[in-house]
Structure 1
Amino acid sequence: MLGPAVVPEIIDPTDAEKETELAVLSAVAHGNGPSGLTVVQAALAALGRLDQAHAMVYFQVIWNGLREPMRQALEALVMERQIEGEATFPPSLQRLIDRGIREGELKGMREGRLEGKRDTLLRLLARAGIALTEDESARIQACTDVATLDRWIENVLGAKTAAEVLS
């Protein structure tokens, strides 16, 4: 079985460049651990020597394997080095990182917007005295469509039951 116990922790960029694919696996396996940022930086440095198509795929694999705290730490490091004028990564890789950060920000904004709408709907239902079953509550929490949530919010006005709201 492939996992952190069998994948070496590659923290040296020179080693990462020699074994780029292993460095990518190392970043996925150890990127959220205590040495995560160092492991990820080594892997990203190795991606700089690849063509853009391969670098993009590997970057996306690494990015998808990172949990939010490590993504934020990587974003902060990249921004800090940009402010200080240091070249963190080769230009093509820097563009990939910037794109990943933007996509992450957009995803975060979308999730925040959905969460706000869910909260608004739940507060309106509570104020209207409309009780929810466990299934109805789960349905609201699982909804990822803004238009549906907007429709349900509008349905609260004049509704007597949750079934009327969630129709």
Structure 2
Amino acid sequence: MGAKFGADLPPLVLGPAVVPEITDPAEAEKETELAVLSAVAHGNGPNGLTVVRAALVALGRLDQEHALVYFQLIWNGLREPMRQALEALVMERQIEGEATFPPFVQKLIDRGKLKGMREGELKGKRDTLLRLLARAGIVLTENESARIQAYTDTATLDRWIDNVLGATTATEVLS
């Protein structure tokens, strides 16, 4: 009997130790497939979020069909804590209006979660403002209270919270 073809070839084993951690989005864009492999190998490690983020930026230059396949590979390799961290990061960027991820990634994140997170942030700021006003002894009219409850701009709510210090009237706070 003759020798089998390839019987002397040892198997090639690829593990995280031999895959570079690609954390720079520019480098990831040059080597997209290596960036995806890096995200799968290192996505749950200490620099996991940075590695995954770089890979996702690189996926933005691919057509949506290929990008979705690569994203699914990365997502499947992530453990639950890292998946939650990635979801939170994408939602945070959407709330802040920063489009740092390909649109398909943003669409995969549940819109209900995004809306709930934004509403929770606004409610917390409104509640803080109302508590600070009460502690400062500043009484609100019904219109002023309704204005605070209806406001949806976080930067303005933050400014109003800062204005409470040293204010004696609601007009000084809500200016």
Alpha-carbon distance between aligned partners in 1 of 2:107 and 2:14, rounded to the nearest angstrom: 30
Q: Aligned AA for 2:23? A: I
Residue type of the partner of 1:27? A
CA distance in 2 between partners of 1:97 and 1:84 (Å):
13
TM-score w.r.t. structure 2 length? 0.54
**What is the percent sequence identity of the aligned residues?**
81
Q: Does 1:83 align with 2:79?
A: no
CA deviation after TM superposition for structure 1 residue 28, in Å? 0.2
What is the aligned counterpart of 1:94 among 74, 97, 103?
A: 103
1:66 is matched with which residue? 78
Q: Secondary structure at the match of 1:8?
A: coil
* TM-fit CA distance, 1:96: 3.4
Normalized per residue, the structure richer in helix is: 1
Q: Sort the Cα spacing of 1:63 and 1:97 in 2 relative to 1 into closer, same or farther, 3 A.
A: farther
Runs of 4+ in 1 over 2 A off after TM superposition: 93-98
Shift of 1:25: 0.2
C-alpha deviations, 1:100-138, integer Å up to 9, x for none? x34xx9xxxxxxxxxxxxxxxxxxxxxxxxxxxxxxxxx
Q: Distance in 2 between matches of 1:50 and 1:4?
A: 25
Which amino acid in 2 is paired with 1:96?
A: V
Residue 63 of structure 2, aligned match among 51, 56, 61: 51
- Of the three residues 1, 6, 14, the one matched with 2:18 is 6
Give the TM-score normalised by structure 1: 0.57
Give unpaired runs (5+ residues) of structure 1: 106-167
Counterpart position of 2:146: none
Q: 2:31 aligned to 13, 19, 27, which one?
A: 19
CA distances 1:3-54 after superposition (whole Å, capped 9, x unpaired): 1101000000010001000000000000000000000000000000001111
CA RMSD in angstroms comes to 1.4
How many angstroms apart in 2 are the aligned matches of 1:14 and 1:42?
Answer: 8
1 CA distance for matches of 2:107 and 2:26? 23
Pair 40,57 (structure 1): closer, same or farther in 2 beyond 3 Å: same
DSSP-derived class of the 1:39 partner: helix
Report the secondary structure of 2:99's partner residue.
coil
In structure 2, the gaps of 5 or more residues are: 1-12, 114-175
Total equivalences in the alignment: 99
In the TM superposition, residue 97 of structure 1 has moved relative to its aligned partner by 4.2
- Write the deviation string for residues 74-113 of structure 1: whole angstroms up to 9, x where unpaired: 0001111111111122xxx3223432x34xx9xxxxxxxx
- For 2:70, what is the secondary structure of its paired residue? helix
Matched AA of 1:8? P
Q: Is the 8 A contact 2:35 2:55 kept in 1?
A: yes
